[in-house]
Structure 1
């Protein structure tokens, strides 16, 4: 095994393989990427929590408009830092092999900017602005939000619950391909 991999025990590897959508090789690669973020820190303590701003410097996150939210949602201690297990969970959910329902669950949390358990008009507006880089005018944004709510807001309460969000996105191949990251 050598190098960075020797810090992972066989038992940990088996647990990670069982608990994620990743192969052994992908787990090793993820550990290598995580270790390279702070080699001395990981060598000293493999349970180190690396600041989100360090993780956001990875090329894979540079152009992702939701990178900061991903780190926030996957931080198990809500401290803007990620442990290797947090990082591994994130990479697992964003992998090609993750179950669509699991992807939908985390996407919902990422898109719920005010963290109230619903996607409100404001959440959807923030989502649209991040996706379009605010290239739409207010009328176009409101029209798009109205269209989204018309299709997805089944109970017509003006916001999307997780069940409504899941109902729409799990039917979309575009969603599976867009909520994805490869290291």
Structure 2
């Protein structure tokens, strides 16, 4: 990679990252500057500790789960392309987004289905493709903290899994998760304006 005396102005592989993520050139550049600011030691990648510097994640009850999503398969570092790829799930849906309508193109990372996949994996702690009652309970504990009794949390977890569990196996599959959220505006709820 070579030493970087100062931060580079353009991300490596910018064109391919832009095509994959759907970010505009200006948004990608802002993200790259943010990536470089988080990479205080100029390593060229971010660690979990680097991402913990993001204030919004530090105060988010699911912050640790979101940070974990940057490191699939037990990796310990994320490069800029991986950083942009995860954040692309939160890119607002643009109805007039030209290149994203071509059926030969892969589904955009910010599509409803990909946003739902991202949300699902925040709950599926053991990555077995199902959200168990115990996983639901763990995530609820993170989200509500001490504001609710353990008995109330268990009741909420039981009811949530029961309502979504169509096949009666005691867990929520991705398709059941999708069905349970069909009336929710995921496109809006899982959208953030990147560094505006």
Same fold (TM over 0.5): yes
Shift of 1:156: 1.1
Question: Where does residue 133 of structure 1 map in the other structure?
Answer: 145
Q: CA RMSD in A?
A: 2.2
Q: Structure 1: which 4+ aligned runs deviate by more than 3 Å?
A: 3-7, 175-183
Deviation at 1:56, TM superposition (A): 1.4
Relative distance call for 1:167 and 1:5 in structure 2 (3 A) is farther
Counterpart mapping for 1:65-144 below 5 A? 65-76=61-72, 78-97=74-93, 98-144=110-156
Q: Which runs of 5+ in 2 are unaligned?
A: 1-5, 94-109
After TM superposition, give the deviation of residue 73 of structure 1 in Å.
2.1
Post-superposition CA distance 1:53-84 (Å, at most 9, x none) = 11111122121122222222222452232211
Q: Please tell me whether the aligned partners of residues 11 and 80 of structure 2 are also in contact (alpha carbons under 8 angstroms).
A: no
Matches within 5 A, 1:143-182: 143-173=155-185, 175-181=186-192, 182=194
- Using the size of structure 1 for normalisation, the TM-score is 0.83
Per the alignment, in what secondary structure is the counterpart of residue 81 of structure 1?
coil
Structure 1's unaligned 5+ residue stretches are 43-47
Provide closer, same or farther for how the CA distance between residues 85 and 146 of structure 1 changes in structure 2, counting only shifts above 3 A: same
Residue 177 of structure 1: how far off its partner (Å): 4.3
Q: Structure 1 residues 141 and 155, CA, compared in 2 at 3 Å: closer, same or farther?
A: same
Cα deviation digits, residues 131-166 of structure 1 (max 9, x gap): 112321122112212221232111011100111111
Q: Which residue of 2 aligns with 1:15?
A: 16
Name the residue aligned to 1:45: none
Aligned pair in 2 of structure 1 residues 25, 131: CA closer, same or farther (>3 Å)? same
Q: Quick check: 1:6 aligned with 2:9?
A: yes
Superposed CA deviations along residues 5-32 of structure 1, whole A, max 9, x for unmatched, are: 63435xx222122111322111111100
